[in-house]
Amino acid sequence: MGDSQIIQISNLVKDYAMGKQFFRALHDVNLSINTGEFCGLVGPSGSGKTTLLNIIGALDNPTGGDIIIMNNSIKDLKNKQAAKLRNESIGFIFQTYNLLPVYTVFENVEFPLLLLKKSKKEREEAVMRALEWVGLSDKVNSRPNQLSGGESQRVAVARAMVKLPRIVLADEPTANLDAANSHNILQTMLKLNLELKTTFIFATHDEKVIRYLRRKVALSDGNVINDIIMN
């Protein structure tokens, strides 16, 4: 694995407080992911996919163990450093798109670049390029409430990709989309994965997604029960 390894998960444990008790959502997960992988965390509802993805994305803290992501130890990251890591290196795609409702398509996609303090020219070029990838160049001035679900998710993909992150984390990105839109989105992501060597990690139980994966990490009750790499 060596230098192409981008994420190293070791002995990861996550407990959720449930009143006085704890619920263990992840039991001692060990996993290593390489640059450019197109892989998915698969498993039934409640198996811990979202939990694991959130910790990888530094949106949540592990209870035990650690994740080394691009030489950063997640458990040691301060809030500010975690925000910086997300800002610079990770793109997120959510099941519910999570576009900012008061912004136009352009502004939504531009947002991560504003946080990165890119120049106006850089931003414009990058946004238009990203919208071209997802085929929405003609919707720059639309607002999220004027878009279909498929279009919204494509905007979200553009927003995740616009800064050319090393890693994209996508939690059930197709759950609200029909088959045609799901394939469309996945093909776009696959293309970007091949062209830009972006590492994609999905959390999904959608067969349509699973068919595209080159690696399937099966979770069950917080344990990795299977790890299949295709070729």
Ligand X SMILES: Nc1ncnc2c1ncn2[C@@H]1O[C@H](COP(=O)(O)OP(=O)(O)OP(=O)(O)O)[C@@H](O)[C@H]1O
**Residues of the shown chain interacting with Mg ion in the complex, contacts defined by CB under 5 A:** 50
1, 5, 10, 16: which one binds ligand X (CB under 6 A): 16
**Residues 227 and 37 sit within 8 Å (Cβ to Cβ):** no
Residue 51, interface with ligand X (CB under 6 A)? yes
Q: How many CB atoms lie within 10 A of CB 138?
A: 9
Strand, helix or coil for residue 176 = coil
19, 20, 21, 45: which one binds ligand X (CB under 6 A): 45
Strand, helix or coil for residue 76 = helix
Q: How many positions of this chain bind other proteins (CB under 8 A)?
A: 27
- Interface mask (CB under 8 A) for other proteins, residues 86-115, using x and -? xxx---x-x-x-x-xxxx---x---xx-xx
Q: How many CB atoms lie within 10 A of CB 140?
A: 15
Task: Write out the two tokens for 204.
Answer: 């999904």
| Nearest approach, Cβ of residue 50 and Mg ion (Å) | 3
Pick what 103 binds: ligand X, Mg ion, other proteins, none; C-beta below 5 to 8 Å, kind-dependent.
other proteins
Stretch that binds ligand X, among 16-24, 83-91, 120-128, 137-145 (CB under 6 A): 16-24
Residue 23, interface with other proteins (CB under 8 A)? no
9, 12, 25, 90: which one binds ligand X (CB under 6 A): 25
- Which parts of the chain are beta strand (E)? 5-18, 21-34, 38-42, 64-69, 72-73, 90-93, 167-171, 199-204, 215-220, 223-229
Amino acid at 152: S
Residue 166, interface with other proteins (CB under 8 A)? no
Sheet holding 90-93, edge to edge: 90-93, 167-171, 199-204, 38-42, 215-220, 223-229
| Nearest approach, Cβ of residue 57 and other proteins (Å) | 7
**Residues 224 and 217 sit within 8 Å (Cβ to Cβ):** yes
4, 10, 83, 197: which one binds other proteins (CB under 8 A): 83
Stretch that binds ligand X, among 41-49, 82-90, 127-135, 193-201 (CB under 6 A): 41-49
| Nearest approach, Cβ of residue 222 and Mg ion (Å) | 13
| Backbone dihedral angles phi then psi of residue 142, each to the nearest 5 degrees | -75, 160
The sign of the CA dihedral 18, 23, 26, 28 is positive
Chain contacts with other proteins (rule: CB under 8 A): 54, 57, 59-60, 79-80, 83-84, 86-88, 92, 94, 96, 98, 100-103, 107, 111-112, 114-117, 159
